[in-house]
Amino acid sequence: MRVFRILMPVPDIEAAAKFYGALIGEPGERVSPGRHYFKAGDVVLACYSPTADGDRKALAPLQTETYLAVDDLDAVFARATAAGAKPSTETSPHTGHLGRIEKRPWGERSVYVADPFGNPLCFVDERTLFTGLI
């Protein structure tokens, strides 16, 4: 089994295509009026606006982070904030300031943001990934 697609609920498919295109560095592909897909390694990151696809009910933003491994954490964080992502304001004695690039206690170097639609994201330096698996 493997992860195939991650769905990002968005209210505005055009704005989502622009934000994620700037973030990922490629334009992606519109596959329906309310779906815009991006390749993220072997996984499809799918921006989805139900109302643009003709559904009556909008979706709320995700409630927990989507973790994205990146090869240049500083550059991705800069692109994300320039495109409208908001750094997290949360702090914790165990994890530090989540909205800053920091090394976490489990060894990952990461930063937490919310996309312009309220979906929480965490960018993780791929060189520091901790999988918990041996």
φ/ψ bin of 67: left (φ > 0), alpha (ψ from -120 to 50), beta (otherwise): beta
Domain co-membership, 47 together with 74: no
Domain containing 29 equals 1-59
Is 80 a residue whose pLDDT tops 80?
yes
Domain co-membership, 54 together with 1: yes
**Residues 32-56: tens digit of each pLDDT:** 999 999 999 999 999 999 999 999 8
Q: What CA–CA distances, in Å, run from 39 to 22, 26, 43, 79?
A: 13, 9, 6, 18
Confidence grade of residue 132 (pLDDT, cut at 50, 70, 90): confident
Domain co-membership, 93 together with 123: yes
Which residues is 2 bridged to in the sheet?
Answer: none
Domain co-membership, 71 together with 134: yes
Domain co-membership, 45 together with 92: no
Is 8 a residue whose pLDDT tops 90?
yes
Q: How far apart are CA 59 and CA 106, in angstroms?
A: 33
Which of 10, 28, 59 is the endpoint of a domain?
Answer: 59
pLDDT at 92: 85
Is 134 a residue whose pLDDT tops 70?
no
Confidence grade of residue 93 (pLDDT, cut at 50, 70, 90): confident
Confidence grade of residue 95 (pLDDT, cut at 50, 70, 90): confident
Domain co-membership, 94 together with 105: yes
Q: How far apart are CA 103 and CA 50, in angstroms?
A: 37
pTM for the full model?
0.93
**Residues 69-78: tens digit of each pLDDT:** 999 999 999 9
